Amino acid sequence: MVASATDGGGVKPLPLLSIGATPSPLLRSGLQVSSLLIPLLLWTVISALELVDGKFLPSPAAVLESLASMAREGILFQDIVASTGRVFAGFFLATLVAVPLGICMGVYPAICALCEPLIAMLRYMPAAAFIPLLIIYLGIGEEPKIALIFLGTVYFNVLMVMDAVKFVPKELIETTLTLGGRGRQVLVQVVARYSLPSIIDTLRINIATSWNLVVVAELVAAEVGLGKRIQLAQRFFRTDQIFAELIVLGLIGFAIDMGFRLLLRLSCRWAL
């Protein structure tokens, strides 16, 4: 069942792929589950028929066993804690810098003119290219890994927050100033509040970049972490372990994405 559209005197059902057609909650849930079950089914069939050598494409059962083995040994928990800690630390620092700077660039054209050319240039420099400098400046501890994630996300956050702020209607700002509002009130109560849903959505999208970078960061003299475990598994040709770690990365990323969606619903109900 899909939502219907009224045409003239009657209600005409819309095909599923018609523009504006909205699946029913039950159908939507079924489609979401299918998006996971169909690839899993194909993977199972390919493994069962041995269409691909098991050394290159391990079966779901082998991956599950590898996952359970790492969990029993405590390796999996250590890797998850290490990787999520690095991601959240780097992304949190990037957010602290990007949100206020992006808001200021969106509100004040002079600040935008001063900062945008440099930021636009820096965001095209691959974060991984800074690894040699980060090691020279910060050593081989946690600092360069967190700094790499920071560099890989801060510039994108700044520019996307700036764009979100630019969509704040000028009439709202002018009305607030006319009613006696001051600069700080305009920034906090009008600009920041109006653009908050877009800012949260920006953070939800860009934290995926942090997860991509944590794998690269953990190649830099890391002892634990999901990325480091993938590197070790590759060295010993443990494709089942590689698949297991990749699945864990995907599941954690999905959970974070759902967390941001929940935050958006709870904090910005007025905008939904």
Share of the chain above pLDDT 90, in %: 48
CATH architecture of 60-271: Orthogonal Bundle (1.10)
Report residue 3 as tokens. 């939502």
- CA 105-111-114 angle, to 5 degrees, is 120
pLDDT for 271 equals 63
Q: What is the DSSP string of the chain?
A: -B-EEEETTEEEEPPTTSTT--B-HHHHHHHHHHHHHHHHHHHHHHHHTT-S-TTTS--HHHHHHHHHHHHHHTHHHHHHHHHHHHHHHHHHHHHHHHHHHHHHHHH-HHHHHHHHHHHHHHTTS-GGGGHHHHHHHHTTSHHHHHHHHHHHHHHHHHHHHHHHHHTS-HHHHHHHHHTT--HHHIIIIIIIHHHHHHHHHHHHHHHHHHHHHHHHHTTTT-SSSHHHHHHHHHHTT-HHHHHHHHHHHHHHHHHHHHHHHHHHHHH-GGG-
Q: Cα separation of 242 and 223, whole Å?
A: 17
Span 154-208, pLDDT tens digits: 999 999 999 999 888 877 777 777 777 677 777 777 888 888 999 999 999 999 9
pTM of the shown model: 0.83
Query: pLDDT band at 96, cuts 50/70/90?
Result: very high
Distances in Å between the Cα of 261 and the Cα atoms of 17, 94, 191, 249 are 25, 20, 21, 18
Can you give the residue ranges of every domain in the chain? 23-52, 60-271
pLDDT for 14 equals 52
Q: Tell me the pLDDT of the chain averaged across its residues.
A: 86
Span 13-67, pLDDT tens digits: 556 667 767 778 888 888 888 888 999 999 999 988 888 888 899 999 999 999 9
Query: pLDDT band at 216, cuts 50/70/90?
Result: confident
